Structure formats: C-alpha cells, structure tokens
C-alpha cells in the first residue's frame, strides 16, 4: 500500500457564489485567489453576475437551480444575498447535497435559523456562518492567550464598533447589521452565550426609525461584556479590549495589532507616600496580517473535507442571532432580557 508522506495539501472544492453584491464580490475574489475552483456566480440581476463572472473567468447564472444544472456540479456554495433570503437558499442548497457558508446574520428569525441548522445535520453537510471576526488573527490571538492564562483571569471584555451612517441601510438596524459581529466575538472569548443582556440606544438619524446607536451589557457570569455600536461616528473604529487581573489588552481588528499593558508596583517609600512607584510596561504585538475572509474560506473548506464543525458553524450563528434579538428586546423593554437559546435537535 502506497503511503503519501509529502507536505499537507489543503483540500480544494468546486464552489459557487450566490449573490453578486458587496460581499459576494469579495467572496468570489477570495475563492478565485485560493486553490478552490470558482464554478459560477448566481444573481437574478444577471448583469451583476456576468460582471463578476467575467472578472474571475467563470460562468454567470440567474438562479441556484441554473447553477446546479450547469456543466460543472458544485460541492459547496457561499450565500451572500440579503438576509431575508438566506433561509430559503440555504435549505435548497442543503437539499441538493451541498455544503454551505452563509453570510451573517444566519437568518431573520430563530425558527428559520434552527431549521437551517437541523437540515445541515440531517444532510450531514457543513453549515458555516460569516462571523468573519472569529477568523481575524487578533481575535485568534486573544482567544489563545486567554486560554493559556497569559493575562490572568479575564474580568471584562468590551468592544467599540462605530462608523459613519452606511451609504445604503438594509432592513435591519446597527445591532443586527454590525453589532452581531462583536456579540459573536465576546461569546467566542467567553466560551458560550450570556445569561442575560441589557441594552440602551435608539434612533438618532437613520431612516425608518432603525436603531443607529446601542450599548449592550452582556452578563456571562464569570466575565462581563460590553458592546458599543453606532453609525453616528465620523471615523471607523473597530476595537476589542480585555481587562484581566494581570494585564489590559487593547486589540485593533483593522490593524490586527494587540497592545498589552501591565503595571508593576515598586516598594513604597514610607518617607514619601505621595510617590507610589508604579511602572507600566506596554508590549505591542503586530500579528502577521491575514485577510479574515480568506481564513474563513480555508476553515470552511477544511471543515467540509474533515467533517469537523466550522469555527463559526450553524449553532454559533443561531446563538449570535438569539443574543442579538435579546439585545433588541431589551432596547424596547428597558429591562435585562435572556437569550432564547433552544437546544438544537
Ligand atoms: N461579514 C461581513 O462583514 C458582512 C458585510 C456586509 C454584508 N454582510 C452580509 O452579507 C449579505 C449580503 O450583503 P451585501 O452587502 O453583499 O448586499 P448587496 O445588496 O450588496 O448584495 C446582495 C446581492 O444578492 C442578490 N440576490 C438577491 N436575491 C438573490 C437570490 N435569491 N439569489 C441570488 N442572488 C440574490 C442581489 O441581487 C444583490 O446583488 C447580508 O446578509 C449581509 O448582512 C456581511
């Protein structure tokens, strides 16, 4: 029997991208740049699909079924369409025997998200969700460092994700559109969902009365979380801060840099109690910059090939959605709310 002893070769797949909008174009580019084969772009706005297909030397299709009937059978699809279409498209793709990476939020309601997770289980197919920040090297660094106890015991985890009002507002406010990124990161670092969420915020400028600013407090029990999110800030800030009992760590999602501050206290001089000898040490950690979308694709393809869960699988998507909905309920009830966490079948 021949035993292959060469270098590990990552698996590759035949992948179709559904949705030729902002995110679909990015996914198509990343698939094309990878070892995988981009076998088609699907969009009912055919001109959009053709434009992206031309860019990456592949075919354009007007519907998922046309892609499935195409000359080359896909093994997986990436669904980057408006959130309200995720449920139907993902269930049709799983039914056709495909693995699926669907953009976040997984769906517009919990029962639909749950049906998607159950269907993937029944079909024995990988379902991954586009919680891209889990694949950000600075989040991977924080997760590993916390697990190793590098900063001592975590006490609070807080994030700031603010920027200008987006050019085009979808049918959801800032909590479901961008806040859900940090809800997922804090769940990831805390090791599970919060027991309860309290949030304040509201509408200042966004059309349709959608919430354009919100502050969330997430109680994980062993650690406390805080998420600040708004569309009312004239510059883009994407930060994560870890307050631990041995260090303060500030992570920049965009720069993929972590700054670790530690304080050491010298001996007190009884003759000068005003001078407390404190020394602060600042360590700047610049991570090897990698595109999180590419790491997300590699994780998805490896999960499909190995059968292991994706780093952000369907359950993770369902959980993040449940916590986001609890935050939205709290925004209107003015009370702390518990996430509706249903056991998946
Ligand atoms: N991970 C991230 O950082 C991130 C960033 C932006 C958007 N998103 C998510 O990505 C998804 C898409 O957002 P976008 O900004 O790319 O939207 P978009 O409006 O730019 O593009 C959506 C595209 O989907 C197409 N479409 C609609 N119905 C379709 C169908 N049935 N089959 C195929 N194509 C269809 C539309 O014609 C459009 O071209 C949303 O769920 C959004 O929340 C994620």
Which of 16, 19, 133 best tests ligand 1's pocket when mutated (most atoms within 8 Å of CB)? 19
Spatial distance between the Cα atoms of 125 and 92, rounded to a whole number of angstroms? 13
CA of 91 to the centre of ligand 1 (A): 17
CATH of domain 14-131+295-313: 3.40.50.720
pLDDT at 2 over 80: no
**CATH of range 134-287+320-333; options 3.30.360.10, 3.10.580.10, 2.60.40.10, 3.90.180.10:** 3.30.360.10
Contacts of 184 (CB under 8 A, 6+ apart): 104, 131, 133, 134, 312, 316, 320
Domain chopping of the chain, boundaries: 14-131+295-313, 134-287+320-333
Predicted confidence band of residue 344 (pLDDT cuts 50, 70, 90): very low
For ligand 1, atom 28: residue with the closest CA: 81
Spatial distance between the Cα atoms of 219 and 232, rounded to a whole number of angstroms? 26
For ligand 1, atom 4: residue with the closest CA: 23
Please report the pLDDT score of residue 10 as a whole number: 66
Contacts of 165 (CB under 8 A, 6+ apart): 205, 206, 212, 231, 232
For ligand 1, atom 43: residue with the closest CA: 104
Please report the pLDDT score of residue 11 as a whole number: 75
Please report the pLDDT score of residue 332 as a whole number: 96
Q: Say which residue, 268 or 153, is predicted with more confidence.
A: 153
Predicted confidence band of residue 195 (pLDDT cuts 50, 70, 90): very high
40 lines ligand 1 (CB under 6 A): no
Strands annotated E in the chain: 14-18, 37-42, 60-61, 76-79, 99-102, 127-129, 154-162, 196-202, 213-219, 224-230, 237-244, 248-252, 257-265, 278-286
CA of 79 to the centre of ligand 1 (A): 8
CA of 248 to the centre of ligand 1 (A): 37
Mean pLDDT of the chain: 94
43 lines ligand 1 (CB under 6 A): yes
Please report the pLDDT score of residue 114 as a whole number: 97
**In the predicted model, what is the mean pLDDT of residues 202-223?**
94
21 lines ligand 1 (CB under 6 A): yes
Q: What is the share, in percent, of the chain residues with pLDDT greater than 90?
A: 86
Strands 237-244 and 154-162: antiparallel
Spatial distance between the Cα atoms of 197 and 338, rounded to a whole number of angstroms? 6
- Tens digits of per-residue pLDDT, 87-146? 999 999 999 999 999 999 999 999 999 999 999 999 999 999 999 999 999 999 999 999
**In the predicted model, what is the mean pLDDT of residues 173-190?**
97
Closest atom of ligand 1 to CA, residue 42: 33
Please report the pLDDT score of residue 178 as a whole number: 95
48 lines ligand 1 (CB under 6 A): yes
Predicted confidence band of residue 169 (pLDDT cuts 50, 70, 90): low
225 lines ligand 1 (CB under 6 A): no
Q: What is the share, in percent, of the chain residues with pLDDT greater than 70?
A: 95
- Tens digits of per-residue pLDDT, 219-271? 999 999 999 999 999 999 999 999 999 999 999 999 999 999 998 887 778 78
CA of 83 to the centre of ligand 1 (A): 7
Contacts of 235 (CB under 8 A, 6+ apart): 163, 164
Spatial distance between the Cα atoms of 326 and 313, rounded to a whole number of angstroms? 20
- Token pair listed for 157: 């985890």
- Token pair listed for 279: 């020394």
**Cβ(11)–Cβ(304) under 8 Å?**
yes
Edge-to-edge, what's the strand order for the sheet holding 60-61?
Answer: 60-61, 37-42, 14-18, 76-79, 99-102, 127-129
Cis peptide before 195 (omega within 30 of 0): no
Please report the pLDDT score of residue 345 as a whole number: 45
20 lines ligand 1 (CB under 6 A): yes
Closest atom of ligand 1 to CA, residue 48: 39
For ligand 1, atom 18: residue with the closest CA: 21
pLDDT at 44 over 60: yes
For ligand 1, atom 15: residue with the closest CA: 22
Q: How many residues does the chain have?
A: 345
Please give the backbone phi and psi of residue 209, each rounded to the nearest 5 degrees, phi first.
70, 10
């Amino acid at each position: 029997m021949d035993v292959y002893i060469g270098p590990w070769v990552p698996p590759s797949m035949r992948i179709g991208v559904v949705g030729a909008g902002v995110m679909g174009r990015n996914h198509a580019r990343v698939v094309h740049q990878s070892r995988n084969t981009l076998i088609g772009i699907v969009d009912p706005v055919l001109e959009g699909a053709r434009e992206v297909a031309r860019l990456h030397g592949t075919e354009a299709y007007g519907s998922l079924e046309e892609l499935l009937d195409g000359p080359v059978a896909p093994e997986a699809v990436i669904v980057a369409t408006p959130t309200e279409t995720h449920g139907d498209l993902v269930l049709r793709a799983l039914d056709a025997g495909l693995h699926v990476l669907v953009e976040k939020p997984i769906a517009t309601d919990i029962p639909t998200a749950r049906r998607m997770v159950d269907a993937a289980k029944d079909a024995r197919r990988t379902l991954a969700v586009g919680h891209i920040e889990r694949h950000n090297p600075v989040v991977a660094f924080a997760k590993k460092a916390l697990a190793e106890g590098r900063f001592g015991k975590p006490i609070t985890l807080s994030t700031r994700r603010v920027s200008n009002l987006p050019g085009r507002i979808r049918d959801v406010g800032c909590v479901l559109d961008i806040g859900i990124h940090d809800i997922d990161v804090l769940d990831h670092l805390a090791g599970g969902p919060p027991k309860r969420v309290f949030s304040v915020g509201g509408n200042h400028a966004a059309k349709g009365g959608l919430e354009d600013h919100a502050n969330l407090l997430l109680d994980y029990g062993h650690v406390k979380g805080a998420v600040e999110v708004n569309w009312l800030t004239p510059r883009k800030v994407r930060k994560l801060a870890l307050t631990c009992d041995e260090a303060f760590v500030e992570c920049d999602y965009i720069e993929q840099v972590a700054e670790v501050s530690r304080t050491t206290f010298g001996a007190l001089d009884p003759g000068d109690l005003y001078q407390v000898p404190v020394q602060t040490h600042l360590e700047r950690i610049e991570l090897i910059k990698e595109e999180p979308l590419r790491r997300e694709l590699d994780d998805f393809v490896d999960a499909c090939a190995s059968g292991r869960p994706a780093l952000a699988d369907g359950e993770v998507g369902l959980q993040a959605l449940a916590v986001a909905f609890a935050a939205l309920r709290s925004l209107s009830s003015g009370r702390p709310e518990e996430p509706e966490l249903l056991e998946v079948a």
